Amino acid sequence: MNGMNDYGKKHQETFRYTFSTLNIPETYKIEVPIDIPFEGCINELSHRIINGLNLPLYVIEELHDELEKFIDKCSVDFYDRQTVDAIDCIKNETIEIEDIVKYWEKAFKDETFSFADNKGPSNNQLFATTFHKLAHSGPSLDAILHIEYGYAQAVQDIMNRKSRQVLTVTTAQTKEMNYAMDGLNNYSTEDDINALALKHFDDQTLIQGKWNSRLDTLKQEQRAGYREWVMKTVEEMQGVDGLYSPIGNSPIGTVKNGFIISNMSLYDMEESFTIHLGSQMKSTHNIRIMSADTLNLLKLTLDENGTVVHHPQRLQTVLELYSQDLKGLVLFIDTNNLDFYSGLGKEFFDICEGSTEFHFNSLQDQLEIIKLDLKVAVENRKSKGPVSNFLSPELQARRNKSKLLQCGDVYITKHSNLASVHLVFHMVIDDSLKSGDINSRHPVILGLRNILKAACSYDITMITIPLFLTHEMTEDMTVPWCQKRAELVLKCVKGFMIESVSLGGSELKTIQFLVPQGISEEVFGILATMVPTIFRVSTPLVFNSSEPEIKSKVKNKKSTKNKRNSTSK
């Protein structure tokens, strides 16, 4: 190791320089020791020599050139000697190859770390890893669910008290306004009514703000307590076997009521199929058609006593929260902005806000971020022109001029407090879906294509799609209409799945087609029979013959084959 220890050590070389002046014919000689290898600036060293030895300024250029040549020559000689010495050490076996490897390994690590980012994992990354470990550690999953449901009950209690007070105030305000309207031009004027309406609005705003502030404070406290409990639990699990009692040490103290595991299905009717896609590189998928209310897949159900009716899907959702098997749901909304004030969007918003989001931003915060991204997306749409060659010129022009979301646009929110999904694909729709004449070039169909591509890119292996591209049954949805719409969606999804498989990424293992609740069994049976006709369904081969008969059939096949061979000869 002596050769390796000497590697990189400097030594001094003497630089000699002579010059003459115009008045004195004699030459002057200077000698300057220089460390080799030289790591400084040659130009700076030249000026220091001039100033330090009081040399005339006109020799600066010549001195610089000579000094540069000297340093280059000495540096080359220095490295040549080092190389020869290293080779001689290896030839004479005075140094081990492993020592050289370790030396360079250490040097490489030191050099890399000097330029690397020294930041460790973020708090969210650390919490995600810790939660995943805790959820897969046996009995701890029961403790996690107890705490989450206890927190959810506390939030629901605040929301119920808010609703009761708002209802009481609204009822009193309605009576007061009716009394003022009845006395118009008698004991009240239009100005009085306007002032009363303004007062009612201010009172409602004050009540809403007070309760919303209490809810936000409660959720922040729950989120901090929940995360602290998860981290503390994992730390204690590493020191002792098993999990300490969630009742005595949980951040909520005691759990009210608890929860029960329900064997009831979330679906009214369902039918499952195993299908194959592709001709050469076949892939296997599960196709499921089911009838259910969309919101039942999202919310937790309470019985008459306030006990949470817990479905097994929720257990799977918690276990797969930080995994490569995520679940998604397509939710159709009929508004081109990001405000959920009515309809299904309002119900979805209430479900999300009905419990604390422990892992991601709240739905309201996610929507605020999406609003900022929407401005950039709209500008990109205008600059890039048509979003798809499949759209008509009129529709392309209308989409490019709009500053809001258009039919077929999709934005994604992620959740950990829903019953059976992790991500929700919000797709904007319009009244054109009510018609039975839509085709594969409709913006909503193209939006489904984008959703399936995104699912394969981001580890979403199960996705739920409304089969009729709507969440409710209407009088216009006749049996022929349902058949035609289902056939279109099934065929398009099949093509998109084949395309997504060819692009690589994660594999969509399960596709769930959701039909609205209340559909008749007859129509549901018709839809179920459409799957084998559109997809290649995997069916087992069943033999009913006895063993001697099978042997005789095999013998007959062999004799027939021999006859064919003799005939060919």
Q: At 71, which amino acid appears?
A: I
pLDDT tens profile 269-291: 888 888 888 767 777 888 999 98
Q: At 357, which amino acid appears?
A: E
Res 412: pLDDT: 93
111 and 132 co-located in one domain:
no
Res 271: pLDDT: 86
Does 180 map to a domain? yes
Q: Which of 67-81, 396-410, 545-559 has the lowest mean pLDDT?
A: 545-559
248 and 298 co-located in one domain:
no
Q: For 432, how many CA atoms within 13 A lie in the half-sphere containing its CB?
A: 15
209 and 309 co-located in one domain:
no
The residue-averaged pLDDT of 425-437 equals 86
Enclosing domain of residue 38:
2-115
Domain boundary among 56, 88, 115: 115
SS3 327: strand
Res 542: pLDDT: 62
Does 545 map to a domain? no
Where do runs of H (alpha helix) occur along 54-139?
Answer: 60-91, 97-115, 123-135
Could you give the CA distance from residue 418 to residue 268 in angstroms, rounded to a whole number?
20
248 and 292 co-located in one domain:
no
Give the distance between the most distant pair of CA atoms in the chain. 127
Does 89 map to a domain? yes
371 and 408 co-located in one domain:
yes
- The number of distinct structural domains making up the chain is 3
Does 235 map to a domain? yes
Of the candidates 260, 262, 353, the residue with the CA atom closest to the CA atom of residue 307? 260
The residue-averaged pLDDT of 211-238 equals 90
SS3 160: helix
Domain boundary among 97, 115, 133: 115
SS3 332: strand
Domain boundary among 256, 286, 312: 256
Res 462: pLDDT: 92
Does 566 map to a domain? no
Q: Are strands 410-414 and 423-428 parallel, antiparallel or unpaired?
A: antiparallel
Does 487 map to a domain? yes
Q: Are strands 269-277 and 536-537 parallel, antiparallel or unpaired?
A: antiparallel
The mean pLDDT of the chain is 80
Could you give the CA distance from residue 446 to residue 434 in angstroms, rounded to a whole number?
17
> How does residue 308 score in pLDDT terms, banded at 50, 70 and 90?
low
Could you give the CA distance from residue 178 to residue 176 in angstroms, rounded to a whole number?
5
Res 414: pLDDT: 94
> How does residue 477 score in pLDDT terms, banded at 50, 70 and 90?
confident
Does 544 map to a domain? no
Res 560: pLDDT: 43
Res 558: pLDDT: 44
Q: At 456, which amino acid appears?
A: C
213 and 279 co-located in one domain:
no
314 and 343 co-located in one domain:
yes
**pLDDT winner (highest mean) among 176-185, 318-327, 534-543:** 318-327
70 and 24 co-located in one domain:
yes
User: Which is more confident, 372 or 565?
Assistant: 372
> How does residue 490 score in pLDDT terms, banded at 50, 70 and 90?
very high
Does 449 map to a domain? yes
User: Which is more confident, 300 or 567?
Assistant: 300
245 and 287 co-located in one domain:
no
Of the candidates 204, 174, 177, the residue with the CA atom closest to the CA atom of residue 193? 177
Res 569: pLDDT: 37
SS3 477: coil
